[in-house]
Amino acid sequence: MGSGQASPVNRLVELLGGEVEYIPKRPGEPERTQADISKMRRLLGWEPRVTLEEGVRILLENIDYWRDAPLWTPEAIAEATQDWFRHLS
């Protein structure tokens, strides 16, 4: 789902209180993406009810549920990026 409005990743980092970690862009990765929710609006009458800020707040309130999820460290991202390049060759 989405809001139909673009939000910079750095805004998410800001809301989470994290540090920005810059990594190289992968081949074919778009500069910008934005969820097109027009079909959901048209067919289902759906409208977003939770802002990015509220969604992050809810996530953080329930973070213990996600504690055992895999963590994307800079090392894991570098390894995944190498795999990406290997599969594209």
**Each residue's pLDDT tens digit, 42-73:** 999 999 899 999 999 998 999 888 788 878 88
Percent of the chain topping pLDDT 70: 99
pTM value?
A: 0.60
Residue at 4 is within a domain: no
Range of the domain at 48: 9-88
Length of the chain: 89
Please check whether residue 20 lies inside any domain of the structure: yes
Q: What's the number of domains the chain is made of?
A: 1
Burial class from Cβ neighbours inside 10 Å (0-12, 13-18, 19+) for residue 37 reads middle
Computed over every residue of the chain, the mean pLDDT equals 86
| Position 69 in a domain | yes
Angstrom distance (rounded) from CA 14 to CA 20: 9
Q: How far apart are CA 41 and CA 4, in angstroms?
A: 10
Say which residue, 1 or 10, is predicted with more confidence.
10
